[in-house]
Amino acid sequence: MAPNRRTAVARAGTNIALVKYWGKRDDKLNLPRTGSLSLTLAGLETVTSVSVDPGLQHDHFELDGHIERGVPLGRVGRFLAIVRERAGAAGQFSRVVSRNSFPTAAGLASSASGFAALACAASAAYGLDLSPEQLSALARRGSGSAARSIFGGFVEMDPGVLPEGDDAVAHELVPPAGWNLRLVVAVTTEAAKDVSSSTGMAATEETSPLYEAWVASHGIDLEEARLAVVGRDLQVLGAVMERNCLGMHACMMAARPPLLYWNEATLAALREVWNLRARGVPVWFTIDAGPHVKALCRVEEAAAVKTALDKVPGVARTIVAAPGDGVRLESVG
Ligand code: 2P0
């Protein structure tokens, strides 16, 4: 039985996929169709506290100072129900307080850091002792990309083959200190996106005639990217990340109705990355299910890339992020 009135606090960095996850082999268990490869970031974090409170009649969820209801609360409540079931703590609800250091739901993968931090804090609060792999599988139930934020640095997510998905977990490829690159995030709007990733990927899988072709080419992308990360080959990694990202967005654009997460500044920033490269700066971009452009480069070029992206019309601000650590339990008691 889980202890009463236990509080745990966890911190997780978001991650950006360099080889993307887009589409599921099982909706209920949140099992991805493909593997993915990501970089966990320092400084773009969620800190979450989970307090088990026997006085509560249902879960409470506060995000960035707002009391959440409806869809966000439902998602957190369903996740906590999974943890409670494993802990034998049915009916013991929690108060969840979460804070992001970056805009929520705008394509900066807040669900990745959010569910990684929640998985860690909730499992500790309900008295579960999970290995990093088990934590990764648990975080995946909240959000596919969250499974990767359990680990730091360069991370690979395995789609797994088991029906229950116990092998659909992430693992570290290269630790944060192992390859000191920078990701320059060009924020092109502070607004939340209209179509969630879950909805967008389901629509893409169901209606885009390009989707299966992207899945078919994905295995080679993942293998080349993995080798490039292990071999610290930025040129190869950059080429793979751009083609894999553009392939994913092509699938979305070909969905019916079309799904376009980009705005004018997205395209302008993308072209600026190509301009920089044409001038000899080794930098490559990726774009997630949102309008922001994320440019990967060496530390030496990060300032020049930031300056160039800051000047792109429509870019609101830029954030330079270093490789970051995996999820961390800050306190429990
Ligand atoms: C990724 N994205 O690999 C891809 C690329 C966005 C574009 O994972 O449905 O919020 O909760 O598993 O994890 C965003 O999707 O989706 C995402 P669910 P999630 O990072």
Say which CATH superfamily domain 181-321 falls into: GHMP kinase, C-terminal domain (3.30.70.890)
Q: How far away, in angstroms, is 260 Cα from ligand 1 center? A: 15
Closest ligand 1 atom number to CA of residue 157: 3
**Under 8 Å between Cβ of 116 and 157:** no
Kindly give the interhelix angle for 132-142 and 110-125, rounded to the nearest 10 degrees.
120
Q: Is the pLDDT of residue 15 over 90?
A: yes
26: left (phi over 0), alpha (psi -120 to 50) or beta: beta
Paired residues of 186 in beta bridges: 293, 318
The CATH code belonging to domain 7-178 is 3.30.230.10
* Mode of pairing for the β-strands spanning 60-63 and 94-100: parallel
Nearest atom in ligand 1 to the alpha carbon of residue 198 is 9
Cα(183) to ligand 1 centroid in Å equals: 18
Average pLDDT rounded to a whole number, residues 209-220: 98
Residue range 157-214, pLDDT digits in tens: 999 999 999 999 999 999 999 999 999 999 998 777 789 999 999 999 999 999 999 9
Q: Which residue from 18, 218, 288, 294 has its CB within 8 A of the most atoms of ligand 1, so it is best to mutate? A: 288
For ligand 1, what atom is nearest to the CA of residue 196? 10
Query: CA angle, corner 239, sides to 238 and 240, nearest 5?
Result: 90
**pLDDT, tens digit, 9 for 90 and up, residues 160-174:** 999 999 999 999 999
Res. 1: pLDDT tops 80 = no
**CB within 8 A of 193, min separation 6: which ones?**
105, 106, 107, 261, 289, 290, 291
Res 192: pLDDT: 76
**76-126 tens-digit pLDDT:** 999 999 999 999 999 999 999 999 997 654 456 689 999 999 999 999 999
* Domain layout of the chain by residue ranges: 7-178, 181-321
pLDDT at 22 over 70: yes
Q: Considering only CA atoms, which residue is closest to atom 4 of ligand 1?
A: 21
pLDDT for position 109: 63
Burial class (CB in 10 A: 0-12, 13-18, 19+), 177: exposed
127-166 pLDDT, tens per residue? 999 999 999 999 999 999 999 999 999 999 999 999 999 9
Report the SS3 class of residue 250.
helix
Question: 196: CA distance to ligand 1 center in Å?
Answer: 9
pLDDT in the model for residue 105: 46
* Cα-to-centroid distance, 101 and ligand 1 (Å): 19
CA 298 – ligand 1 centroid, Å = 25
| pLDDT per position as a tens digit, 252-301 | 999 999 999 999 999 999 999 999 999 999 999 999 999 999 999 999 99
Bridge partners of 99?
47
What's the 144 CA to ligand 1 centre distance in angstroms? 6
pLDDT over 90 percentage in the chain = 93
Position 272 scores a pLDDT of 98
CA of 21 to the centre of ligand 1 (A): 6
- Compute, in angstroms, the gap from residue 201 CA to the centroid of ligand 1: 8
User: Is residue 2 scored above 50 in pLDDT?
Assistant: no
Atom of ligand 1 nearest to the CA of 145: 13
| Ligand 1 cavity residues, CB under 6 Å | 17, 20-22, 30, 36, 109, 111, 143-145, 197-198, 288-289
Q: To test the ligand 1 pocket, which listed residue (149, 158, 197) has its Cβ within 8 A of the most ligand atoms?
A: 197
Pocket test for ligand 1, best of 193, 201, 293 (most atoms within 8 A of CB): 201
